[in-house]
Amino acid sequence: MIESLAIENLRGIRRLNVDGLTDVNIFIGRNGAGKSTILEAIYLASTLFNERDLLRGESKLDYIVKRRTGRGSWQSSRDVLWYAKNTSENITIALKFRTGNTLKFKVRYEPPFSKTPLLLEVSEEVARKAGITLTSRPMYVWRDKLVEELEGRTIRILPYDYYSVVSILEKEATYLRRVVFLNSRLCASDVEQRVWRRLLDRRLDRVVVDLVREEYEPNAEGISYKPSGDGFVLSILLPHTSVEIDGLGDGARMAVFYASLLALLSDTGVLIEDPEIHQHLGGLVTLLKFTLKMAKEKKLQLFITTHSLELVKIARELTSKYGLDLRVLYVERDHETGLVDVRALERVDLEVLEKLGLDPRLLHIL
């Protein structure tokens, strides 16, 4: 589990530090505060251990650029991720885990890092455990090598065993390797092609059907592949017909997508961007109930951005029910300096604001 996070020079964030992260972390704040960038920082760090997106089947680096620009790739448009597009300064991301290890990542823009930009600094403690003596120059994990940074843009590949370092960080590497990013841009083909077969192999389709019955389609009998054109599509089986997943309402469709992936995951972080989109209040309750139940059973750490006070209130009650710790974090960015302040809103703070008739989403103007 990640306990704290520090970011420098990523998108609109010049500098951000947040401590005390727990089982369920909900980020609220105005548009442009940096909420989604916090999710992107964890997602970006995960590329060192798994370059491909589990759900979308593409490079995570390409996806993180395309979701911001709508086009291009990491190679052609990566400068959009640098603060003020100042690519002469490195993006840095530090993740402190409950194991006590802190992973410090550096993202470099220039060659030879243009294709694989992440470097993981090897700490003194990890080097000692691996039987390696550090010099005055920092040592990094890069690709499947250990390297030392020289002057300028050059690096030197070191003769040490890469696996001797990575094996010491196996718990952290496993957590990051499995990280997924869920948002409203998911599409049926992603789930059909990369998720559902694995779900069926473990008969976890049953838990997804239960979710559908609870809120979206009470008469659902199951979910199955259905021939369509040259391939197959997922369909909800009803007593007298079947309905393609893409033919469902937006809320039901997204709930199926989210639930399908959540049912497969374990021991990792799940990044969820604005899950209230397309959801009726009843659907939001059902989706959050499922998500938090999976988090408890499968040891998932949740990072959720939202503009919905209803989501915060629902999560507050459900986390108590499932024995999960919750932190609601208000994110505020100074648009002149790019410095981001993250403040924890305790339960009593939210209750006082509600009694005063004040909306915590508007703290920047109170």
User: Mind listing the pLDDT tens digit for each residue in 274-314?
Assistant: 999 988 889 999 999 999 999 999 999 999 999 888 899 89
Tell me, which fold does domain 1-185+266-366 have in CATH? Answer: Rossmann fold (3.40.50)
- For the chain, helix, strand, coil in percent to 5 are 40, 25, 35
Give me the amino acid identity at 273. Answer: E
Rounded Cα gap, residues 339 and 136, in angstroms: 31
Angle (CA) 20-26-29 rounded to 5° is 105
**Residue 18 neighbours by CB distance under 10 Å:** 22
Residue 323 confidence (pLDDT) = 96
E-state strands within 19-79: 24-28
Asked whether 222 and 209 are in contact (CB, 8 A), the reply is yes
Asked whether 93 and 45 are in contact (CB, 8 A), the reply is yes
Average pLDDT over every residue of 73-84: 92
Residue 352 confidence (pLDDT) = 57
For the stretch 100-138, pLDDT in tens is 999 999 999 987 787 889 999 999 999 999 988 888 888
Average pLDDT over every residue of 247-255: 88
Residue 180 confidence (pLDDT) = 95
For the stretch 209-234, pLDDT in tens is 999 999 899 999 999 888 887 778 88
Query: Residue 84 gets which letter from DSSP?
Result: G
- What are the beta bridge partners of residue 106? 92, 119
Confidence of residue 356 (pLDDT cuts 50, 70, 90): very low
CA 66, distance to chain mean position in Å, is 16
Mean pLDDT of the chain: 89
Phi/psi at 82 (nearest 5 deg)? -85, 140
- DSSP per-residue string spanning 119-181: EEEPPHHHHHHTT----SS-EEEETTEEEEE-STT-EEE-SS-HHHHHGGGHHHHHHHHT-EE
Query: Which of 147, 67, 78, 65 minimizes the C-alpha distance to 109?
Result: 78
Predicted TM-score (pTM) of this structure: 0.93
**Cis preceding-peptide flag for 112 (omega within 30 of 0):** yes
Q: Where in the chain is the domain with CATH 3.40.50.300?
A: 1-185+266-366
